[in-house]
Amino acid sequence: MQILGIETSCDETAAAVVVDGKQVLSHALASSVAIQEKYGGVVPEQAAREQLKAIIPVIHETLTQSSLQPSQLDAIAVTVGPGLIGSLLVGVETAKTLSWVWGKPLIPVNHLLAHFYAAWIGDRALQFPLVGLLVSGGHTDLILMQSHKHIQHLGGTRDDAAGETFDKTARLIGLPYPGGAAVAALAEKYNTKNEKRNITLPRPLMAENTLEFSFSGLKTAALRETQRLKEQGLWHDEAIVQFAYEIQEAITDVLVQKTLKAVVTYRPKSLVLAGGVAANARLREKVLSAIDTLEFPIAVHMPPPELCTDNAVMVAACAYYHQNPVPFQQVQANPSLSLRDFSLPTITHKSTSN
Ligand code: KG4
Ligand code: ZN
110 lines ligand 1 (CB under 6 A): no
The pLDDT of residue 254 is: 98
Please tell me the distance between residue 179's alpha carbon and the centre of ligand 2 in angstroms. Answer: 15
* Residue type at 169 in one-letter notation: T
The pLDDT of residue 346 is: 39
DSSP code, position 75? E
The pLDDT of residue 351 is: 38
- Alpha-carbon distance of 107 to 3, in angstroms, equals 9
For ligand 1, what atom is nearest to the CA of residue 274? 1
Please tell me the distance between residue 230's alpha carbon and the centre of ligand 2 in angstroms. Answer: 34
The pLDDT of residue 212 is: 97
The pLDDT of residue 33 is: 78
The pLDDT of residue 155 is: 96
- Alpha-carbon distance of 107 to 75, in angstroms, equals 7
The pLDDT of residue 349 is: 37
- Alpha-carbon distance of 137 to 14, in angstroms, equals 17
* Top mutation candidate among 8, 172, 309, 311 for ligand 1, by most atoms within 8 Å of CB: 309
The pLDDT of residue 36 is: 74
State the sign of the Cα–Cα–Cα–Cα dihedral 98, 100, 105, 107: positive
The pLDDT of residue 344 is: 43
Q: Hey, which residues does 313 pair with through a beta bridge?
A: none
* Top mutation candidate among 171, 215, 277, 282 for ligand 1, by most atoms within 8 Å of CB: 277
The pLDDT of residue 32 is: 81
The pLDDT of residue 342 is: 54
81 lines ligand 1 (CB under 6 A): no
275 lines ligand 1 (CB under 6 A): yes
Angle (CA) 254 202 241, round 5°: 90
Q: How far are the Cα atoms of 73, 177, 178, 276, 309 from residue 306, in angstroms, in the given order?
A: 25, 17, 15, 9, 6
The pLDDT of residue 40 is: 77
Strands 75-81 and 140-145 come out as: unpaired
For ligand 1, what atom is nearest to the CA of residue 137? 7
165 lines ligand 1 (CB under 6 A): no
The pLDDT of residue 341 is: 65
Q: Which residues of the chain have pLDDT under 50?
A: 343-354
Nearest CA to ligand 1 atom 8: 276
Q: What is the pTM of this model?
A: 0.94
Please tell me the distance between residue 162's alpha carbon and the centre of ligand 1 in angstroms. Answer: 9
